[in-house]
Amino acid sequence: MKLFEAQGKVQKDRTIMRETDERMAKYSRRGVIVNVLAYLLCLSTGYMSVMAPNVAVALTVGLILFALLRGYFLVRFDTLYASGPCRWRNRFFVVTLLGAAWWSVILVSFTLVLGIVAETPILWFYTVIFFASTVQVTAPYKRFSQVYLSITLLPPVIAGAYVGGFEGYMYSLMMLVFVIMMFHQVEVLCSTYWQRLEANYALTQKARALEVEKRDSDASVDLSSQFLINLGHEFRTSLNDILGGLSLLTDSKLESHQQELLKLAQTAGERQLDLVNNIVDFSRISNRKLVLDHSVFNLRSQIEAWLSDMSVDAHQQGVELDYRIAAGFPLRARGDAGRMGQIVKNMLGNAIQFSEQGMVFADIDFKKDSDKGGLLEINLVDRHSSAQSAPNGSEETEDDVTTRATGLWLTICKGLAECMGGSIEIETVPGRETQYQLWLPLKVAGQQASSLNAHPKLRGKRVLMVDFGLELAPQHFREMEDWGLDLIRGGSIDDTQETLERLAAKGDRPDLILINLAKDCDTCLDFSRSLLDHELFRDIPQLLLLSHNHLNHPQLQQLIDGNSHIVHHYRPFIRQSMHDLITHAVLGKPMLKGGSDSEGIGVCDQQREVLLVDDHRVNQMVAEGMLKKLGYSVRIAGNGMEALCEVKKGGVDLILMDCQMPEMDGFEATRQLRQLEQEAGEDEHIPVIAMTAHTNDGDQSLCFASGMDDYLAKPVRYEVLETLLLRWLGGAEEDGAEPVVINNKISTAEGPV
C-alpha cells in the first residue's frame, strides 16, 4: 500500500512538494528530541525503572536507536532529498512509522506494568498533546497520517481496556474518541491544504500567463508604435519636399488666382502633416509616452488662427464658420498650444464635415478660478431644424449621429484633453443640434487684457454695412464700435443706394463700405461696379468679406485685382486683421500691388553663413531656397565628415544638421565639432540646429545630449526656420515697423496675418 500518490499538478510540482516535506522534516526534528526528553524524564522520576528495570532498559535503547535512525533522514534532508524526493519521502514514512510503533510499545509496556497510575497517565497525556500539535504537519499526507495515528494510539486503547477498572476503561474510551477526532481532523486539514495550494498554483499560473500575454502585448504595441513612428518619419520627409517647394513658389510672379491655388495646396499638405501628427500622437497616448509643452502663448491669437485655418475647409464644403469670444478673455496663457490646436482643429473639422445647417458657431469663454488660472471652455454648435435634411438630401439617421461621435479624431482629442487635465464631450440630438464641448484648465501668464488698441484716427469714421444674404454677427458690430467707428446699416441694395445719395447730398459720405457677401457673387459685382461707376462714390474704399470659394469667380477676381481701393478679407471676422485692413483702407495708407516690391526682403542685415548638412538632394534644394530667401549665404555638406571639413575652413555662423546620414551622422558630427571647439580653447561656439523628421522626445534628447543647441522638425516651415535663425543669429527687424499690404492683404515680418 502506497502511503502517498501524487495527484494533480500541485502534488507533481517539485517546488511545492519540497516546501511541504521540508516543513514536515523541520517539525519532526523537534518532535524526536522532545519525545526522547519526555520519556527520560518520566523514566527517571517514575517507578518503571524500579519495577521492571530490564524492560525499561530495552525500551530506552530501542527509543534511542529509532530516534537516531529518524534523525539521520532529518538532519541530512537537503542531501538525501536532492538525490530523490520520492525515495526520501518513502524512507521517512517507514522510519517514522517504526518509531511510532516503538512509542506505542512504550505506552503499552508502561500501562501493562504499572497500570493507569504513576507516570503512565503523564505519558498518555503527553502523547495526546504531541499528536494534537503535529497533526497539522503530517495532515497533507492523509493516508500516512491515519496509519501513523493508528499504529501509535490504537494499541494503548486495547492495553487500557485490558487493564480494566474505571481508570482503564475511561482512558481507553478517551483515547479512542481522540483517534476518531484526529482522523476527521486529518481529512479536513488535508483537503484544505491542497485546495489552498491548488488555488495559489492556479493564480500563479494565471499571473504568469498574464505576464507573458502582457509582454507579448507590449512587444506588439512597441512594434506598432515603432512602425507608426517610422511611417511618420517617411511621410514627414516627403511632406518636407512638398511643403518646402510650395513655400518657395510664393515668391514667384503668379497671378492672384494662382496664388490662391498655391495656398490651397499648402493647406492640403499641412492637413496631411496634421494627420501624420495625429497618428503618431495616438501611438504616444496609447503607450502613455506623450510629453506636453508648457510655454507662454497668445491665447486669443492662437484661437483665431485655428478658426482662420479651418475656414478654408468650411468654405469648400459650403459651411460658414463664426465665433464669439467672451469679454475679459486673457491675452496670454501657459500650456501646450500645439496640442490644443490639434484638439480644436479636429473638433472643427468634424463639426464642419457633418454640419447640416451650413453654419458652425464657436462660443469661447474663459472662467477664472484664481488669479493664476482658470478653465477654457469651447462650445461648437451646429443648430438645425427637424425639417433640415442632411447634405445628401436624406434625413439624418442614428448611424449619422453615431458617426459624429466616433473615429480616430475623437480618441486622439480625448486622450490629449485628458493628458492636459481636461475633457471633451459630444451631444447630438437628431433634428435639433450638435454640440462639441471642450474644457481645458490653463494657467494665465500675466494680467494683460485681451482688448485691442485701436488706431485713434478711426474714431468717428463712418462705415456703411451691406449684407448680401449673410449678416455680420452682433459681437463683431460691438468690436468695431469699440474702435470708435460709426456704423450705418445699409439694408437692401436700393436702400443702400438711397442712403449713399442722402449722405452725399449732405456732404457726409461714408469713409468705407463694408460688403458681407454670401453666395450671390453677381449681385455683389453689380453693386460694387455701380459704386465704381458713380461719380460721387467711386473713390470710397470697399472692403469685401468673402468666403474662400468666392475668388474662384473670375469676374470678382478681376474686380479686386483691377481696383486698388477694393480690399478683401476672408471670413470669419478676425479682429486684428480686420482692424488693420480698415485702418489702411480708411486712412489712405499705400497698398503695394503684386508683391514685387517685397521681393528680396530678408531677415538678415548682414551676410551670415549657414552650413546646411543633409544627404537628401531635394531637402538640400528646399532648405537652400528658404535660406537664400531669408538673405543668408549657404554652404552644403552631404554628411557629417563633409560638415567638419567645411567648419575647419572657417566662416560658418550656424549649422543646420540632419541627424540620419551615411558615413557620419549628425550626432557624431556634432560631438566631434564640440570636441574641436574645446581643444581650440576659444570662446567661439557655432550654433547647431537639428533638422530631422524624427520627432520623438527621445530623439530630441539625443540631439541635445550630443551638443546641439536647438531642434527643427521636418517638414521645415518657413516661419519656424525664420524664427530660429533670428533667435540664434539675430536680424534687422525694427520695433514698431508698420505692416504693409501686399496683394490687398495685411503682411508683417512674421508672414500674412
Q: Report the C-alpha gap between 281 and 671 in whole angstroms.
A: 30
* Helices 299-316 and 337-353: angle between axes, nearest 10 degrees: 30
Task: Using DSSP bridges, classify how beta strands 512-517 and 462-468 pair: parallel, antiparallel or unpaired.
Answer: parallel
Q: Contact 149/109 with Cβ under 8 angstroms?
A: no
Q: Which residues pair with 567 in a beta bridge?
A: 543
For residue 592, the 8-state DSSP code is B
In angstroms, the CA 297 to CA 331 distance is 8
pLDDT, position 740: 35
Which DSSP helix (H) or strand (E) runs through 361? strand 359-368
Query: How far apart (Å, rounded) are the C-alpha atoms in residues 246 and 539?
Result: 37
Reported as a single tens digit per residue, the pLDDT across 737-751 is 333 333 333 333 333
Least confident of 291-305, 402-416, 492-506, 686-700: 402-416
Q: Which three cell numbers, joined as nine digits, stand for 329?
A: 478673455
* Vertex 225: Cα angle to 219 and 226 (nearest 5): 90
Residue 579: other Cβ atoms inside 10 A: 20
Among the listed ranges 75-89, 135-149, 582-596, which one has the minimum average pLDDT value? 582-596
Using only C-alpha atoms, the chain has a radius of gyration, in whole angstroms, of: 46
Is-cis flag, bond preceding 572, omega within 30?
yes
Residue 379: strand pairing partners: 363, 437
Question: Over 60: is that where the pLDDT of 154 sits?
Answer: yes
Helices (H) and strands (E) counted in the chain, each on its own, are: 24, 20
Question: For the residues 307-322, what does the mean pLDDT come to?
Answer: 87
What is the Cα–Cα distance from 434 to 405, expressed in whole angstroms? 10
Where are the alpha helices (H) located in 630-717, listed in sequence order? 640-649, 666-680, 697-705
**Poorest-confidence range of 105-119, 208-222, 398-412?**
398-412
For residues 232 and 230, what is the distance between their CA atoms, to the nearest angstrom?
A: 5
Burial state string for 447-467 with b = 16 or more CB within 10 A and e = fewer than 16: eeebeeebbeebeebbbbbbb
- Nearest alpha carbon to residue 594 among 247, 246, 254: 254
Q: Pseudo-torsion of CA 194, 199, 205, 206, nearest 10°?
A: 170
What spatial distance separates the first Cα and last Cα of the chain, rounded to whole Å?
A: 97
Q: Which amino acid is at 45?
A: T
Predicted confidence (pLDDT) at residue 14 exceeds the cutoff of 80: yes
Q: How far is it, in rounded angstroms, from Cα 275 to Cα 202?
A: 46
For cell 515680418, name the residue: 749
Non-local CB neighbours of 507 within 8 Å, separated by 6+ positions: none
Q: What confidence tier does 621 reach under pLDDT thresholds 50, 70, 90?
A: confident
**pLDDT number for residue 521:** 76
Where do runs of H (alpha helix) occur along 593-737? 617-629, 640-649, 666-680, 697-705, 718-729
Give, in order, the Cα–Cα distances in Å from 143 to each of 2, 91, 149, 631, 637: 8, 15, 10, 96, 86
> C-alpha cell of 469?
444674404
By C-alpha distance, which of 308, 324, 322, 326 is closest to 357?
Answer: 322
Is it the case that residue 158 has pLDDT exceeding 90? yes
d(Cα 355, Cα 353) in Å, to the nearest integer?
A: 6
Render the burial of 269-300: b for 16+ CB within 10 Å, e for the rest: bbbebbebbbbbbbbbbeeeebeeeeeebbbb
Share of the chain above pLDDT 90, in %: 16
pLDDT digits over 248-282, tens only? 677 677 776 777 777 778 777 777 777 777 777 76
Asked which of 85-89, 387-391, 619-623, 700-704 is least confident by mean pLDDT, the reply is 387-391
For 626-681, the pLDDT digits (tens) are 888 888 999 999 999 999 999 988 889 999 999 888 889 999 999 999 888 888 87
Q: How many CA atoms lie within 13 A of 245 on its CB side?
A: 10
**pLDDT tens profile 425-457:** 988 776 667 889 999 999 887 766 667 788 888
pTM of the model: 0.55
**Beta strand pairing call for 359-368 and 320-325:** parallel
Residue 155 reports pLDDT greater than 60: yes
**Strand residue runs (E) in 492-632:** 512-517, 542-546, 566-570, 609-613
Q: Is the pLDDT of residue 406 over 70?
A: no
Q: Scan for cell 458617426, then name that residue.
A: 403
Measure Cα distances from 649 to 611, 644, 652, 657, 688 in Å.
Answer: 12, 9, 8, 17, 17
Cis amide bond preceding 554, omega within 30: no
Those residues with Cβ within 8 angstroms of residue 326's Cβ, 6 or more apart along the chain or in another chain: 364, 365, 366
Q: 320, 314 in Cβ contact below 8 A?
A: yes
- Contact between 92 and 25 (Cβ < 8 Å): yes
What mean pLDDT value characterizes the chain?
A: 80
